[in-house]
Chains A and B, each alone.
Chain A
Amino acid sequence: MATVQSAPTRPAADDELRRQLTGAGLEPSRKRADRLMTVVVTLAFAVALVPLVSVSWTVISRGLERFDLYFLTVSMRGVFGGMDAGGIYHAILGTLLITLFAALISVPIGLLCAIYLVEYGRGRLAKSVTFFVDVMTGIPSIVAGLFAYALFALFFGPGVRLGIAGSVALSVLMIPVVVRSCEEMLRLVPNELREASYALGVPKYLTILKVVLRTAIAGIATGVMLAIARVIGETAPLLIVAGTVDSINTNVFDGRMMTLPVYIFGQYRQGNVSCVAGATDCIPTINFDRAWAAALTLILIVMALNLIARLIARFFAPKAGR
């Protein structure tokens, strides 16, 4: 009798459970909110993409007009008016050299600072270093340029324009970014690895060099590359301290140096050329064309740096698997 009685009650229980699990029992407002938020998030993503696509499209379509091997391999020496000539070789060199020296200054300082903060720093000094690094992150780039100018003017007199002064200005902007990203990466290294190394009788400095840095190197390399990408497009400080020049200068310690952002700004400021009627070798929009092509080059350089960063990260990443 007992089995006969219990049998009819079981479907009822199943129906109740089914109703609770399949949504008939769920609050309908949750489903509506879910759908609404999906739409909002997708829309926000689309809106964020609009400027990116627009900028890429504009720069590529306008920049390609003058973007060729000739443009990349000649300087602006002897180019004037609406001449169908001139290129950015000097500006590419200047940008790469100034950024290279900025990295040479910032990476050792930033990395050592991060090592101090993570491995050694205790108490008030470490806290104040962290605080001032945060403050430095917010320095406007023009202030960094004025700082470098004031510094070099002390030694070389007013009106000084040097490639290395540009590097110093950029490193003021770059150091806090390097410190921050390296610090994050070093903190990600599990403490167990440090302890494993200590337990083998390895001194602290070798543990940091060979275990901590080796484990974090992929992230550090990525962070440094992103910091470089961040400063390579800086215009204001370089306009002040590196100056403008039309010919090639490969010595950062002597004389003015052209850079891509400053070049773009300079070309744009010159505006349209008024050609003499009937002149054959004169393009009225030549300066704008050059500015767009230079902008395209700058974007390509930044993209290349990001790609290199990813490759480095992949190369150094700890390998798992059997």
Chain B
Amino acid sequence: MAKRIDVSDLNIYYGSFLAVADVSMTIEPRTVTALIGPSGCGKSTFLRTLNRMHEVIPGARAEGKVVMDGVDMYGSDVDPVAVRRHVGMVFQRPNPFPTMSIAENVLAGVRLNNKRISKGDAQDLVEQSLQGANLWNEVKDRLDRPGSGLSGGQQQRLCIARAIAVKPQVLLMDEPCSALDPISTLAIEDLIAELKDDYTIVIVTHNMQQAARVSDRTGFFNIAGTGKPGRLIEIDDTSTIFSSPHEQATEDYISGRFG
């Protein structure tokens, strides 16, 4: 299921403004890749180009290559909607659909696409996805209650269940724990460790301990100043980045001697 992504010479624009310049990296299958860096350096922007969510913002575009298992996702004949079915995404703030129940939220990817699914299959998919997101035991008795009635951490796991219910190959997470308390954060981090067996995961985080705990590889983004584009400074095994990074900027950032 999991796929490898090769990014080469990627430039990301908002209108004429170059937001992220010249990124090249390889995202290995069945690993967790963490992206760290100061605010505004383009981590989230870069993450959103991996499933072509970037271009839903008017004027936003990307140049360069993002190749998933040999297919260029920015090829002229590639449908962005289809890309997003293969590359799922979890957002910073939990965003379950307020008009839907917990079960309907999990099935949203199927139902919203007008796909038919038998009742039995739907039940199986709900259970399987909620199990996968470590939420099943907490909500199995109230699947028909609104998803907005859950706690923040549960809502975020509901969003993860919703994302994995469409069976993506890659899962992107944009600061998934920044709105959560430490216990919910721990639950999500445990979940990430489990999901790694089946999915390629890319996670943006401001929490360096979190990057060190959950990721196999870590990329450090930095920005030279306001108005300048963000760049990927270095990417390496997480243990290397946090013990002996090659770049001085990386070491300054992870040791807190930044700016």
Task: Show the binding face of A for B, using Cβ within 8 Å.
Answer: 122, 190, 192-203, 206-207, 210-211, 214-215, 318-322
Interface stretch, picked from B66-74, B142-150, B205-213, B231-239, is: B142-150
- Would you call A321 and B146 a contact (CB within 8 A)? yes
In angstroms, how far is the closest chain A Cβ from the Cβ of B117? 14
A202's partner among B58, B95, B112, B163 (CB-CB below 8 A) is B112
With contacts A192-B95, A195-B95 taken as known, whether A201 is within 8 angstroms of B53 at the C-beta atoms is no
Point out the residues of chain B lying under 8 angstroms from A214, CB to CB: 99
Q: How large is the interface on B (under 10, 10 to 19, 20 to 34, 35 or more residues)?
A: 35 or more
Task: Show the binding face of B for A, using Cβ within 8 Å.
Answer: 51, 53, 56, 58, 81-86, 88-89, 91, 93, 95-99, 108-109, 111-114, 142, 145-146, 148-150, 159, 162-163, 166
In angstroms, how far is the closest chain A Cβ from the Cβ of B123? 19
In angstroms, how far is the closest chain B Cβ from the Cβ of A146? 41
- Would you call B58 and A192 a contact (CB within 8 A)? no
- Would you call A196 and B56 a contact (CB within 8 A)? no
- Would you call A202 and B109 a contact (CB within 8 A)? yes
In angstroms, how far is the closest chain A Cβ from the Cβ of B97? 6
Bound-state CA distance A253–B158 (Å) is 54
Point out the residues of chain A lying under 8 angstroms from B95, CB to CB: 190, 192-193, 195-196
The residue in A192, A194, A196, A214 that gathers the most chain B C-beta atoms within 10 A of its C-beta is: A196
In angstroms, how far is the closest chain B Cβ from the Cβ of A204? 8
B91's partner among A196, A210, A322 (CB-CB below 8 A) is A196
- Would you call A201 and B81 a contact (CB within 8 A)? yes
- Would you call A197 and B108 a contact (CB within 8 A)? yes
In angstroms, how far is the closest chain A Cβ from the Cβ of B114? 7
B84's partner among A193, A198, A322 (CB-CB below 8 A) is A198
Bound-state CA distance A192–B92 (Å) is 10
Q: Which residue of A lies closest to B79 (CB)?
A: A203
- Would you call B53 and A195 a contact (CB within 8 A)? yes
In angstroms, how far is the closest chain B Cβ from the Cβ of A128? 18
B108's partner among A194, A195, A200 (CB-CB below 8 A) is A200
Bound-state CA distance A319–B163 (Å) is 22
Bound-state CA distance A190–B146 (Å) is 17
Point out the residues of chain A lying under 8 angstroms from B114, CB to CB: 206
Point out the residues of chain B lying under 8 angstroms from A198, CB to CB: 53, 56, 81, 84
The 9 closest A-B pairs by CB, nearest first: A201-B85, A318-B98, A200-B109, A199-B89, A192-B95, A322-B149, A201-B84, A202-B112, A196-B95
> 4 extra interchain contacts, Cβ-Cβ under 8 A, other than A206-B114, A318-B99?
A197-B97, A197-B112, A207-B112, A320-B98
